[in-house]
Amino acid sequence: MMMKLNFPKLININNIPDERGHIYFLDDREYNFEFKRIYYLTSKDVNIVRGDHAHLNLKQIFICIHGSCEIYFDNSIKKETFLLSSKAEGLFVPPKVWREVRKMTNDCVLLVLASSYYDENDYFRSYQDYVNFMKV
């Protein structure tokens, strides 16, 4: 049986501007998973590459809430790099997609909403293992 190949999608983050500024909000009823874990990444150098893994089951939303970064995705067939530079835009990342976070500016804060608690068994740490799994 061929596995269905998903790919990340850009999403708009609800926000309300007023004379004081903006408020941005996400409610998990609008997405097809519950947010069980929140973490955020920063970087010491624009040349550092983070990520370099795929997840078996984890669903995520990535939002660059400050600065900018690029995220490269590969679902074993399709490859694409997205630039995240707006607080009003995020990426829904389905399971089984290889990702590399690149070019994080030194003011970058990349917020991640995740569907499960941290579980090392959910990771593909080797690209070769990931590609072999996706061929089955």
Helix (H) or strand (E) holding 23: strand 21-25
Nearer to ligand TYD, 1 or 44 (CB): 44
Tally of CB atoms within 10 A around 70: 16
Record the tokens describing residue 63, joined without a space: 């939002």
Per-residue mark of binding to ligand TYD, 59-78 (x: CB under 6 A):
--------------------
- Min dist CB 2 to ligand TYD, Å, is 28
Residue corresponding to tokens 């991640």: 112
Residue 51 in the binding site for ligand TYD (CB under 6 A): yes
Residue 102 in the binding site for ligand TYD (CB under 6 A): no
Backbone angles phi, psi at 55, to 5 degrees: -115, 145
Nearer to ligand TYD, 14 or 119 (CB): 119
Instruction: Name which of 60, 48, 108 is nearest 83 in CA terms.
Output: 108
Q: Site residues (CB under 6 A) for ligand TYD?
A: 37, 39, 50-53, 118
Instruction: State the catalytic residues.
Output: 53
